[in-house]
Amino acid sequence: MEKVIIFSAPSGSGKTTVVKHLLQMRSGQLGFSVSATTRKPREGEKDGREYYFLTEEDFRARVERGEFLEHEEVYKGILYGTLISEVERLWSEGKAVLFDVDVLGGMQLKKRFGNKALAVFLRPPNKEVLMQRLRSRSTEVEHQLQERLNKAEFELGYEKDYDVVVVNDKLDETFQRCETLVDAFIAAP
Ligand code: ADP
Ligand code: 5GP
């Protein structure tokens, strides 16, 4: 069966770290759905790898053309969206699709794919840890950091809507748990 795995988590929870790990460990079975965004690339990010970096004009034109499965203004003035073409590309390669999306996008995708989808909510042990991780990554300036923390508060309210919740405390344990979850989901009929 064609399957999808949705990962959502408040910014700074470790989602990128976990998703990258899974893609490395299960490269034959999983493929990453590269989203489109209007935010600027961070240092080290490459167009077409982490995201398709689009102008707002281009993004909105694609919305009009119906190219997205879902799209959200995740942060003020910054759009993110899941492209239908990514799912088609990965399914045609025989892979399950891995999504890294915010909670609203995650819920839309879960609704869309139903039991073809496993929705995983990753969260930090507590807010202090989240704050520390966000600061240590230091990719955001202070006002963006505050916006991300506010958003994290909002996102934490959605964990009950996900199929599974994984608390990201010790990273090696999180990796193990996620690998087990993914393997079981892929193996299921
Ligand atoms: P997200 O994609 O959810 O915003 P990242 O994967 O970028 O989060 O992680 C945020 C920061 O926290 C990174 O610097 C990452 O190395 C670190 N991190 C992630 N998981 C853990 C963990 N279990 N323990 C300690 N630090 C972690
Ligand atoms: P970042 O800017 O840190 O890469 O990502 C910010 C947030 O946008 C993360 O919560 C990420 O999961 C979310 N995101 C990335 N791509 C998409 C997408 O295609 N759709 C939605 N709804 N959210 C996305």
DSSP 3-state percent helix, strand, coil across the chain (nearest 5): 45, 25, 30
Confidence of residue 54 (pLDDT cuts 50, 70, 90): very high
Between the CA of 129 and the centroid of ligand 1 the distance, in Å, is 10
Planar angle of CA 26, 74, 135, nearest 5 degrees: 75
The reported pTM is 0.93
Q: Which of 126, 137, 170, 174 to mutate to test the pocket of ligand 1 (most atoms within 8 A of CB)?
A: 137
Q: For 117-149, how does the pLDDT look when each residue is reduced to its tens digit (9 = 90+)?
A: 999 999 999 988 988 888 887 777 777 888 888
Please say whether the beta carbons of 101 and 35 come within 8 A.
yes
116: CB partners within 8 A, 6+ apart: 1, 2, 3, 4
CATH assignment of the domain containing 175: 3.40.50.300
Domain range holding 97? 4-187
Identify the bridge partners of residue 167 per DSSP, sorted by sequence position: 123
Atom of ligand 2 nearest to the CA of 78: 2
- The token pair that represents 52 in the structure block: 């398709």
34 confidence band (pLDDT: 50, 70, 90): very high
Ligand 2: atom nearest CA of 33 is: 19
> What's the structural domain count of the chain?
1
- Relative to the CA of 137, which ligand 1 atom is closest? 14
Residue 151: pLDDT band with limits 50, 70, 90: confident
